[in-house]
Homo-oligomer: A and B are copies of this chain.
């Protein structure tokens, strides 16, 4: 398999320009390809876990559960995303990972990752950057839940997803395919499913976006951006910083 063409290599390359030698190291890190059915957890909280994954196809969500049965989805991962890094660096996983759709992913062993770092500090820096970018998204998510109302939050979420999918060629400014149910959306946005439904209806009636039948159709991008106060700066993808 040519790693150079994978979404993962493209993503790391966005921060650190990777040489052929480094791409080979990256290639060596990729273990066997695995597939996971939708709905059954790939990683479970508290589980001792020695491997992370790079998503090749499908969507997953990372979430935490609460004693009252509720859950909070921290983030969704789309093709090209690294997942489970924290559950590898920590002794045990501190969150759950559930495939939203059927998923294909390459396994990455901690030992291989660490050896890759030894061979190339630039690679280590790139992975650190990727982790920081993930953190930036979680931070933005936190800000949204803490200080934005339901409409702003939902609009922001749909725009962020669009921006991320665009990076891997899975969205256009017009819209994108989105396999998320309103329940999943609610668990991510810190709202009730009922309220998510209302917000989506309001968006539809206002001619901003329609989210139906697994597709997000953006009818008024400018309007949405204004409503959500969306700024892609935190996604930081302006080309390699480390040449």
Contacting residue for A135 out of B66, B86, B145, B229, CB 8 A: B86
Q: How large is the interface on A (under 10, 10 to 19, 20 to 34, 35 or more residues)?
A: 35 or more
Given known pairs A117-B125, A234-B94, the reply for A135 and B131 (CB within 8 Å) is yes
A139 contacts B233, C-beta separation under 8 Å: no
Annotate A58-70 by CB proximity to B: 1 below 8 A, 0 otherwise.
Answer: 0000001011001
CA distance A28 to B129 in the complex (A): 22
A94 contacts B136, C-beta separation under 8 Å: yes
Chain B: minimal CB distance from A71 (Å): 7
Residues on B with C-beta less than 8 A from A5 are: none
Residues on A lying within 8 angstroms of B by beta carbon are 15, 46, 64, 66-67, 70-72, 74, 85-86, 89-92, 94-95, 114, 117-118, 121, 124-125, 127-129, 131-136, 138-143, 145-148, 189-190, 229, 233-234, 236, 238, 241-242
